[in-house]
Structure 1
Amino acid sequence: MEQIPTINYRDLESNDKELSKFLEDSLNDVGFFVIKDHPISSESIDKLFNFTQELFDLPLDVKMKYHLKGTNGARGYTPYGIETALNKNVPDQKEFWHQGSCSNPDLANNLTINELENFDDINSLYKEFEKLGIKILESISNFNIDFNADLKEIAVDGNSVLRLLHYPPVDAQKNDDRAHAHNDVNLITLLVGGNEGGLEALDKKGNWVECNCEKNEIICNVGDMLEIISNKKLRSTAHRVKTKNNEDKSRYSIPFFLHPRPEVILDPETNLTANDFLNKRLSDIKLG
């Protein structure tokens, strides 16, 4: 398999025209790229992975105290066997925790797991990811594209979500799809690489491309909302998580889904808002 391209965060900050063209071409081809030397410290990421494992090691009855029915999985715990990829009948093999905006009072409140120490540290990490995501959107706004919205401001205090994700051990000979092929609904996704491989993206030629990165790197991809705002000049890419080498063990991953504020209009012709689009998708994937 081919590999997705890698760029340096300092180059991304420079808003260099040649880099912008390279990045635009890459996003149009496979929709994914890797960021190295980013400002989120390796210590913070290590801490977040350790915290993630501690969370999912809690007994199920404890975790279920933080499962809020009727909230579309927007906050707190979502158990194994609920989220189902679009047009699929079998649920993905995962459980996850959602932590959202810390600064927009119009959005749902976050939950705190009383059984874990220093839980509030996750909010500072949320803010780091949000800041990084907004900076990447600012760089994308310099592409030679007429966007339907101002990318420099639509995600400020947006409906973004930090997801702590656990794929439990599976029998790969029975089902090696830990997450079926799907497109992200949001603007862009920032993914701290999982402790195991398995993420693959579908390029324009119909080939599945491995999306691996080093421990101190972050994978970024385009979501459906950015595809709409760019009038389909940037493509949201189907991706999946496979079980590699038939290894029957847990996989942990930490994606950050950068969303606009709910009232932001994605398509002026139809007055489609981010909130309307999100709610429709959540219903489609069995979270609504």
Structure 2
Amino acid sequence: MTIPVIDLTDALRPGGARNAEVARQIRAAGEATGFFYVIHHGLDAELLARQFEVAEAVLNLPEADKEAIALKHSKAARGYECIGSQTLDANARPDVKESFYCGIEYPPEHPYVQRGYYSYGANQWPAGLPWVRGQSLAYTEAMCALAQRLMQLMALSLDLPEDYFDHTHGNPMVTLRMIRYPAHPADADERTFGAGAHTDWGAVTLLAQDAWGGLEVQMPDGSWVEATPIEGSLVINLGDMIPRWTNGRYHSNPHRVRNTRSGGAPRYSIPFFYTPDYMARVEAVPGSVPEGTAPRYAPCTVGEHLQEMYRKTYGLQAA
């Protein structure tokens, strides 16, 4: 089994000539692994390239400058995270990667900020790099629009109205994460990964990766397949909310990263995690629960689902 490539030509707008065809392809991918590439996705190549420049600029700052914007200084989970801070696979060693997080800048008076909901609030920006903010916010806006379009195509793939999920997009809980993976340690054992095996927590992840590769996806039979970089593509994977919404019909499969192919160079990747409104309800969509059976997952809000995932990974209580 391989990871399919889906061409979004003529499917980026409601009424697109290829909407039905693309929806069928998304259905097949969702029922298999929840992973697929997209090409001709409408994102400007220069915008993508500039975001990698942001990642390199921020993550190569002196340690003191990165520490000044560390996650511990943010109530909104925005800022720098050092190597070893996260262990995505509980059976592996701490992940060999460092990250910078940012997202939509919700103002202090926004009700979700007032309530202290996790990841809603201000970003932390590095001193001396004034261009980083504007570029990252432009990238976030473009990725948000594409993620919402993918949610519309996913609705079509489930034989639902194209706008079925639109009401969940009011105040999306998005995270733009720039990651730097140093070369895989020479003395690493089999429990050492750049990112340990895990599933993503939200609705859909849009990943831009550099040319080195290193991402691996677990197939239904338990084997691991490389998500080899394809120039101009994004790797899309469905997060854990999608099995909840589809009653297990669509999958959120494990994936992991090892930077063993770069010849000692660092690997950069930029995942964009799209999660709907914190208060949006996540429950089995119409037609997904066979008559006479109960849903496989209990209904919950987006926030309730994510609270549990943060506790499992970080031991944190998310507001």
TM-score (norm 2): 0.82
Distance 2:202 2:186 in 1: 29
Distance 1:25 1:172 in 2: 39
Counterpart residue number, 2:7: 8
Counterpart residue number, 2:222: 206
One-letter amino acid of the counterpart of residue 285, structure 1: T
Q: Residue deviations 1:104-137, cap 9 Å, x none?
A: 7332211221221312221111100000100011
- Structure 2's unaligned 5+ residue stretches are 113-119, 285-296
Distance 2:72 2:152 in 1: 36
Question: Where do 1:63-212 residues align within 5 Å?
Answer: 63-69=66-72, 74-88=77-91, 90-102=93-105, 105=110, 106=112, 107-120=120-133, 121-144=135-158, 150-175=164-189, 177-212=193-228
Deviation at 1:270, TM superposition (A): 4.1
Question: Where do 1:7-46 residues align within 5 Å?
Answer: 7-13=6-12, 14=16, 16-46=19-49
Task: Check conservation: 1:171, 1:246, Cα contact below 8 A.
Answer: no
Task: Check conservation: 2:76, 2:123, Cα contact below 8 A.
Answer: no
Structure 1 residues 34 and 271: CA distance shift in structure 2, 3 A: closer
Q: 1:61 aligns with which of 57, 61, 64?
A: 64
Deviation at 1:170, TM superposition (A): 2.7
Could you tell which deviates more after superposition, 3-12 or 218-227? Answer: 3-12
Distance 2:83 2:315 in 1: 12
TM-score (norm 1): 0.90
Seq. identity, % = 24
One-letter amino acid of the counterpart of residue 54, structure 1: A
- Structure 1's unaligned 5+ residue stretches are none
Between the two structures, name the one with larger relative contact order (CA 8 Å, sep ≥ 6): 1
Could you tell which deviates more after superposition, 38-47 or 251-260? Answer: 38-47
Q: Secondary structure at the match of 1:69?
A: helix
Q: Secondary structure at the match of 1:140?
A: helix
Deviation at 1:199, TM superposition (A): 0.5
Distance 2:89 2:159 in 1: 29
What RMSD, in angstroms, separates the aligned Cα atoms of the two structures?
2.4
Counterpart residue number, 1:230: 246
